[in-house]
Amino acid sequence: MASFTAQAQGIGNSPYSSLGVGEIYGSSNITNLGMGGMGTAYANSFFLNSVNPALLVRNRYTIFEVGLLGQSKKLADSRGQNQQDFGANLSYLTFTFPVTRYWSAGIGLRPYSYVDYQTTQYQKVPGTIYESEYIYRGRGGLNKATFTNGFSLTKNIFVGVEGAFIFGNTTNDSDSRLLIGGDDITVKRSTLTSYSDIVWRLGAAWRPKLHKDWFLNVGATIDPKTKLNGTSLDTYQQIDASGSLISNPDTVSSRTGGAVTLPTQFRGGIVLEKSQKLAVGVEFGYQPWSQYKALDGTSGQLKDSYSIGAGLEYTPRIRSTRYLDLIPYRLGFNYAQLPYSVGGKQPTDVNVSLGLSLPVGQFVNSVTVSLIGGQRGTITDGQIRERYFKIGLGLSLNQQWFQRYKVD
C-alpha cells in the first residue's frame, strides 16, 4: 500500500520530480505560457522573450520583468487515493536593454528544476504479524542565472546566444521503520547532491515580409548536450520514536568530480503575424532524455520526450484610445510526452491556456495574467494522475534608455 503527501516546496508535490534532476520548469515567461508556451519563433516587442535568445534584439526598450507562478493540483492513483495541494514560486527576474541598434543584452535569474515529493509505503514482514513503513521524500532544486545576447544580422535575420550558470542542491531521503509499537526505530538514509556548471543555448530566427503588414516568423533553438558537475554525500543514521538521534550521521559514501549528462534539446516554430495585430503559430520540441546520465553513470530510466504546441495572440487596435482595444489576448494548447517511464509507458501532459496583458501607466508597462489547466498521467498502468490549474502573474516595466536625442 502506498500514499503520497504534500510539501511546501516548488509549485506543488510531484512524484515525478524524484527522477533525473527533478521537475524542469522550462524557459517560458508568463506571456509565453498564455500561448501554449510558444516563443521560439515569435516575439512581441513590448514583452521579453526568454525562449529564443535571437529574438531578444527585437526588444528596443529597456525592460524589467518579474514573474510569479502558482499551481493548484489534485493527485490520484488507481487505488482511489487522492490529495489536493497548492504551491507557488518566483518564476523569473529579467532585465534587458539595447546596446546598439543591432545588439540587445540581458541578465536573468529563474528556477531550473525542483524536487518535491513524499511517498509512504507499507509492507507486511514475512512470517510475522508486523508491518514495515517506508517513507521516500525529496526536496530542493536548481537555479539558473543567465546572460543573453541577441544580434540582428540583417533586417529580418537574427541570431543569439545564452550562457547560464546552473547551481543548487537536492536532498533525497528514505526512511524505514518496523512498526512494533512503542520503541520503533527509524533508519534514515539521506543523499545530498550539489550541482554547478555552465550551460548554453543557441538561437536563430527569420522574419521575412509577406505582404504589407504580414510577416512569417521562423525560429529554432538548440541546447547542446552538456555535463553538469556535481557532488554527492550519502549518510546513514538511526532515530528513536521521539525523533531523537540514536547515532550521529555516518557517511555511507561520497562522490566528487562526477557529472550529470543533460541531453541536447531542440525547439522549432513557425508563426504567421500581422504586425501589432495578430500572431498564430505552432511549435515543436524534442529532447532525448534516454541519453541522461546520473552522477554514478546510470541512465536514470528516462525516455525521449517531445512536445507540440499552438498559440494565438490578438490585439484589437494598438493605436486606439479605447482601453479594451489595447489589451493583447492570448490562447494556447500544448501536448507533451514526458520523459518518465511507468509500467513501460510514458505519461502525457495536455493543457490549454488563456492570457492577457493589462496596460498600465503610459500604456507601455503592463500586468500579464496567464491561466493554464491540464492533466498529466492517468490512473492506469501504475501512473499517478495530476490534474492541475496554474496561474501566472507577470509585471513588465518598459523605458527608453540610451536614446540619442536630435536637436533641430
Of 36, 117, 31, whose CA–CA distance to 384 is shortest? 117
pLDDT at 140: 92
pLDDT at 8: 37
pLDDT at 283: 97
pLDDT at 153: 97
pLDDT at 363: 58
**Ranges 26-35, 173-182, 392-401, most confident:** 26-35
Report residue 403's pLDDT band, with 50, 70 and 90 as the boundaries. Answer: low
Whether 405 is covered by a domain: the verdict is: no
pLDDT at 182: 64
Report residue 247's pLDDT band, with 50, 70 and 90 as the boundaries. Answer: confident
How many structural domains are present in the chain?
1
Q: What is the pLDDT of residues 186-241, one digit of tens each?
A: 888 899 999 999 999 999 999 999 988 999 999 999 999 999 999 999 898 888 77
pLDDT at 3: 42
pLDDT at 308: 97
Give the structural domain span for 248.
Answer: 2-399
- In SS3 terms, 314-337 reads as ECCCCCCCCHHHHCCEEEEEEEEE
Q: Is the pLDDT of residue 5 over 50?
A: no
Whether 293 is covered by a domain: the verdict is: yes
CA-CA distance, 344 to 341, in Å (whole number)? 6
Whether 170 is covered by a domain: the verdict is: yes
Whether 261 is covered by a domain: the verdict is: yes
Averaged pLDDT for residues 93-117: 93
Q: Is the pLDDT of residue 27 over 50?
A: yes
Q: Is 165 helix (H, G, I), strand (E, B) or coil?
A: strand
Q: What is the pLDDT of residues 119-154, one digit of tens each?
A: 888 888 777 777 888 888 999 999 999 999 999 999
CA-CA distance, 47 to 395, in Å (whole number)? 10
Report residue 362's pLDDT band, with 50, 70 and 90 as the boundaries. Answer: low
pLDDT at 12: 67
Averaged pLDDT for residues 29-55: 92
Report residue 357's pLDDT band, with 50, 70 and 90 as the boundaries. Answer: very high
Cut 0.85: pTM above it? yes
Report residue 6's pLDDT band, with 50, 70 and 90 as the boundaries. Answer: very low
- Return the percentage of the chain with pLDDT > 70, whole number: 93
CB 360 within 8 A of CB 11: no
Whether 259 is covered by a domain: the verdict is: yes
324: left (phi over 0), alpha (psi -120 to 50) or beta: alpha
Round the CA-based radius of gyration of the chain to a whole number and report it: 24
pLDDT at 402: 56
More confident residue, 242 or 317: 317
Q: How many helices (H) and strands (E) does the chain have?
A: 1, 19
Averaged pLDDT for residues 384-403: 86
Whether 26 is covered by a domain: the verdict is: yes
Whether 407 is covered by a domain: the verdict is: no
Q: Cα separations (Å) of 367 from 31, 87, 209, 363, 393?
A: 10, 21, 30, 10, 7
Q: What is the pLDDT of residues 279-311, one digit of tens each?
A: 999 999 999 999 999 888 888 788 999 999 999
The torsion angles phi and psi of 320, rounded to 5 degrees, stand at -80, 155
Averaged pLDDT for residues 360-383: 87
Cell triple for residue 277?
A: 495585430
CA-CA distance, 97 to 275, in Å (whole number)? 22
CA-CA distance, 340 to 86, in Å (whole number)? 23
pLDDT at 7: 38
Burial pattern 172-191, b for ≥16 Cβ within 10 A else e, equals bbebbbeeeeeeeebebebb
pLDDT at 390: 95
Report residue 37's pLDDT band, with 50, 70 and 90 as the boundaries. Answer: very high
Averaged pLDDT for residues 60-87: 87
Question: In this structure, what CATH number is given to the domain that contains residue 247?
Answer: 2.40.160.60
Average pLDDT over the chain, rounded to whole? Answer: 88
Whether 80 is covered by a domain: the verdict is: yes
Q: Is the pLDDT of residue 407 over 60?
A: no
- Return the percentage of the chain with pLDDT > 90, whole number: 57
Q: Could you tell me where the beta strands, DSSP code E, fall in 288-399?
A: 305-314, 329-337, 348-360, 365-376, 385-399
